[in-house]
Chains A and B, each alone.
Chain A
Amino acid sequence: MGYRTAGVVLAGGRSSRMGRPKADLEWHGSTLLRRTLGVLARSVDGPLLVVRAAGQPLPQLPAQVDIIEDPERGLGPLQGVAAGLAALAGRAQTAFVCSTDLPFLHPAFVRRVLSVLTDDLDVVLPVARGYPQPLAAAYRVSLAPLVTELVAAGDRRPAFLFRHERCRTLRIDDAALLEDPVLAAADPLLDSLVNVNSPDDYRAARSQPAPQVTVQRYGAMAGNGHRGPRTVRAATLSGAAEAVGLILDRHVIAALNGDQISRDGDVPLASGDTVAFLSADAGG
């Protein structure tokens, strides 16, 4: 059945404490929503969805992102979860569902949570940094009817789902999450779960330095003393390119961690990433 994993971002919240839509918040030359989607794109093998309120404007998103509308505003996050999972029926088996406002979400965190969702479970719920984290959790797509049923019945708090007899939930705490050495190295404080609810939160997050990444220029771009790896701080591919004096264009591409190739400057970076800048003119 379709892909194994998908990503869902709930962008339809009221953002009342922030006073403006969180999806639009600037993040190192891009937007917070774009960053969150980019992190999910790096972490799942299947579709990406944004659930928004009806008619809600969104910043520019990559073409492969599906946008679905939450049919009814104000019913809380479970309504968004239901809408997202329902839209994935037949397309993916599981989904990482999160809010827009996780500026330090790391791909290693997403992969860790998804990896724990085995066939005998329906939800993996991180209970970390002191709280349950239903909007940074993994859900089985087949839960959609149950979640819809609960919302319709007025049981709109996520806790109703997690304690329901038809929902097999695994709660996973900080220590259990960090048993994954990759996550422990990439995000030892689980900053992936830091969210920004107010302008002060946003300012504090924005004042943090960009992630530390390793960058290497190859081929003709490695001339004039540019050989070998360099450590820079950059939140996006274009930021990393700029840090080493390059511009992504038809002749310059970037490979992230030796994996996918891109020239989309908005692709988000996370601490520990390695970026290779290559010539797109590869004949030989």
Chain B
Amino acid sequence: MTRPPGGYAGKALIVDVTRPDATTLPIGEAVLRAYLGGVGLGAWLLHRLGPPGVDPCSAPAPLAFVFSPLVGTPLTTSAKFAVVAKSPLTGMLNDALASSQFAISGKLTGHDAIVLTGRAATPSVLLVDGPTARLVAAADTWGRPAAEAEEVLKRRLGRGWRIAAIGPAGERGVRYATISHDGRHAGRGGLGAVLGAKNIKAVAVRAATKIGPANPDGVLAAARDLRERSFGPATAKYRELGTLANLLAFNAISTLPTRNFTSATFVDAAKLAAEELHELRSATRSGCASCSIGCEHIYRGRNGQKARVEYENVFALGPMCGVSDPDDVLAASARCDELGLDTISAGGTIAWAMECAERGLIDAPWLRFGDGAALLRALDEIGSGDGLGALLSEGSRRAAAVVGGGSEQFAPHVKGMEMPGYEPRTLQGMALGLAVNARGADHNRSGAYEADLSGDYDRLAGGDAQVTAAVATEDRAAVMDSMILCKFLRGVFDEPYREWAELLQVVTGWDIDDAELRATARRIVLAKRMFNLREGWVPADDWLPSRLLREPVRLGSGRDAALTPARLREMIDGYYAIRGLDHDGRPEGGALEDLMLMEGAPL
């Protein structure tokens, strides 16, 4: 095989944990250039390695840790990795990012990806040490929170090992369980349940080689420049208050989903605001490896317990459930961390259950909006499987199918994934992004809220302009999540595609330009859609919960904001047209050849 391009190993490690047995899959330059890494390369790997129709929690289902060309360089925010698998929550392609040293050491095992298949006979930890892989018993870590498991394993394995682990929720198969490393979660879509189903508590990696860039001096110069720019106004919000700064601002513009989307404002928002917590409870601020932003804000809760706080976990466990006591929300957030639960899906599913209980559809008189103790009890039951836990572990879509009684209408999900904290009726570009994205209701793969909040569009009247903007943000996310750079850095790029191409030039040595990178973005988005089509996607999956299309929401100005089915349909049709899809969302023409997914296509 020819030497791989700069920043790449040119191969993936495929580990069948049943035996265990490790093989190497060469990945040619054509595929690397077409999919870059991260979520893009992950989509390609899943197409190639995932048996069509596979149960995501069965032994043959692959789960991939995917690195990127930029990982290991001094480029700020580049120490990230993607975890990619078919989601047990959505049944579709799922990718989630996490950060820090696992990304660097994982790549320096000498692989662009580490893919797990099979199922270990007993609870185990997978150790990847350069080209070798082996299992060790996980007996002393099984049942523990991921962070504790990491500590135990670090002590046992010694220096140099980096560990990604699941918590009890992943072990128990909760469909929205996470995989975490150093307190940061690959959070969405239940990847922890996929790993748990393989009887794997953790994956530990140790660097064994070097993977250098094509132009080290060029990378250093680019890194200095990017680092400098990362201290500017585009990242001020993340540095100073973290993403929780969204909460009070979103409340002011009626886009803070509250009490399971029955309102877009929360009367007690100020109690949970970053501005308030920062003054009274801020403990420390932290950041990922190789990051100059440092967006993580850690707050003290009840009894001095610390919780890593972001907008999404406070939204989902606070206003979404009507809970306003910061101690309860911080405790709930910490509980999710311990169990290894995606906070958005946990909060969304519990909020749905609270509404069901208040409507008499679920026999749980203790479960009420606004009751922090009930929120914590619900989380405990999800963690243990007791009481309502088994039902709520399924996520709101499956739980609503069981409960019925019209609760499907207000289950807050798209494609089975619970909705993030962006009110679609008052952010109508985002409404489209949430409806059509391959991962489901997701704010990281589609950032169409950027258009809504730009002041350049009428955020209450979605139309052609928002469609174009939604496509553009989805494309940009596909590139950033594949190179990989943290999206909190996106505001520092004036001409993103040109600047990203320049970064890839110095790392890989390719003569890549902005036009090629735009094509790459479209390819990645289409590849994800193709995976979903293969796995049974139907046009009705690109849609929003009925509540959002039937019930207007009141703005602070007194006006009502409504999103009609006709308007959403029109935007989706526009999206399909721009994407080269037919009226049913399926690709037209010869687009598939470009994806290199067919049998015989180059590896």
A residues contacting B by CB (< 8 A) are 216, 218-220, 222-223, 227, 250-251, 253-264, 274, 276, 278-284
Contacts and interface: CB of A to CB of B under 8 A. Distances in A.
Interface string B440-467: 0001000101101111001110000000
Contacts, number: 107
Contact of B459 (A219, A260, A279): A260
A250 B447 CA distance: 16
B241 A220 contact: yes
Interface string B555-568: 11101000000000
A219 B490 contact: no
In this complex, the interface size class of chain B, counting residues with CB under 8 Å from chain A, is: 35 or more
A92 B113 CA distance: 58
A276 B252 contact: yes
A219 B452 contact: no
B556 A258 contact: yes
B310 interface: yes
A261 B488 contact: no
A264 B456 CA distance: 9
Nearest to B422: A282
Given A263-B455, A284-B311, A284-B421, 19 more contacts: A216-B252, A219-B245, A219-B275, A251-B491, A253-B454, A260-B459, A261-B455, A261-B459, A262-B455, A263-B454, A276-B249, A276-B252, A278-B252, A278-B453, A280-B450, A281-B238, A281-B491, A282-B449, A283-B449
A253 B488 contact: no
A38 to B, nearest CB: 14
Interface stretch (B229-237, B325-333, B508-516, B541-549): B229-237
B246 A284 contact: yes
B245 A218 contact: yes
Contacts of A254: 455
Given A261-B453, A276-B249, A280-B454, A219 B241 contact: yes
B245 A251 contact: no
B312 interface: yes
A136 B248 CA distance: 38
A59 to B, nearest CB: 21
B449 A279 contact: no
A283 B447 contact: yes
A255 B559 CA distance: 14
A251 B234 contact: yes
Given A258-B555, A260-B460, A276 B253 contact: yes
11 contacts: A219-B241, A220-B236, A251-B233, A256-B557, A258-B555, A263-B454, A279-B236, A279-B245, A281-B238, A281-B491, A284-B244
B254 A219 contact: no
Nearest to A228: B275
Contacts of A264: 455
B275 A281 contact: no
